[in-house]
Structure 1
């Protein structure tokens, strides 16, 4: 059977098994939708190439719209990766964002939304990369699922070991700052995979746009776990 359907069926049939990724309160918090495509004219080359300017833009948007968190990015074709050679390839550059970004302050707690174990972790310490990264492994009634948490604080990697149990709603990390998270504004890259394809501590979060259909087969929509309401984008 199709893994995407099995995943969706599990979510629908076991709502009690799904916890939180961040402390979002649907009764009181609003979400700001960040558009990181070419349509966003505020993302000038100067902003993208200066982490402090990019961070200020994110912070101002959240504050001005009275939003505790921002969100966006699943299968979004972005222009912002031009600032780092990390995303360049010999032919088509990588610009398709495969996960979801959750934007908030450095130090924001991150939680495991499902029971599982630590699959792997490492500091992907390159400009534009994930920085400190944790990958968890879950078993959804026989369906393997992996969840990736990128752009964390370095402290988040302390005390981890492969195979260590984690439990729903257990805090596993905090958002990192630009000095440790790959030089990004503080945020969490949250991504799901059915198959790690032999990788440890890392999995592509940005791909070539021409390969979108291939990546979608292995990367389900994180929104099924997050269950966030619609985001606002008013200014």
Structure 2
């Protein structure tokens, strides 16, 4: 059976095995859908090239819409990566986002949503990169799954070791601030992979749009694990 279907079946058949990634109370919290595509005309060159302004823009959206977290990004074709050469290639630049972003305050607690072990970790310390990153490995009734957590605090990497057991709902990290998270407004990049392809401490979170189908085979929708309710969407004008 296709691995995507196996994952969906596991989630449907074992809802008790799926925990949280952040503290989200569906009864009282709301999510705001952040649009980071060219359709959002608020994303000016000045805004995306100034992390302080970008952070303020995100904070204003969450406050004005009474939302605790922002959400979005899976297979989203983004314009914001133009600010860093990290996403440029000799031919087609990388602009397609492969994970889900959860935007919140620096210091926000991050949890493991599944039992597993620490696969790898490192500080991907480049402008626009993940910054401190943790990758967990999970075995779901024989299905291997990996989860990646990017843009963390440096402190999150302390005390880890490869093979370290991790339990569902165990705190594994906190969100990093601008100075340590790859120069981004504080947020979590959460991504799932079936195969790490030999990589450790890092895995692409952005790809060329022309290669979408190739990457999508290995990268399922994180929404299967997050199980968030529908987000508030104020339309493209206000993202």
TM-score (normalizing by structure 2): 0.98
Per-residue CA distance 1:92-140 (angstroms, 9 max, x = gap): 0000000000000000000000000000000000000000000000000
1:223 and 1:24 mapped to 2: Cα distance? 14
2:231 and 2:17 mapped to 1: Cα distance? 24
Q: Which runs of 4+ in 1 moved over 3 A?
A: none
| 1:233 shift after superposition | 1.9
Matched residue, 1:147 = 147
| 1:196 shift after superposition | 0.2
Any stretches of 5+ residues in structure 1 without a counterpart?
A: none
Per-residue CA distance 1:175-231 (angstroms, 9 max, x = gap): 001100000000000000000000000000000000000000000000000000110
| 1:6 shift after superposition | 0.4
Equivalences for residues 65-104 of structure 1 within 5 A:
65-104=65-104
Matched residue, 1:185 = 185
Per-residue CA distance 1:9-67 (angstroms, 9 max, x = gap): 00000000000000011000000000000011111001100100000000000001000
Matched residue, 2:26 = 26
2:178 and 2:51 mapped to 1: Cα distance? 7
SS of 2:217's partner is helix
Matched residue count: 235
Any stretches of 5+ residues in structure 2 without a counterpart?
A: none
Matched residue, 1:194 = 194
Matched residue, 1:169 = 169
Please tell me the root mean square deviation across aligned C-alpha atoms, in Å.
0.5
Matched residue, 1:120 = 120
Matched residue, 2:105 = 105
1:233 and 1:80 mapped to 2: Cα distance? 19
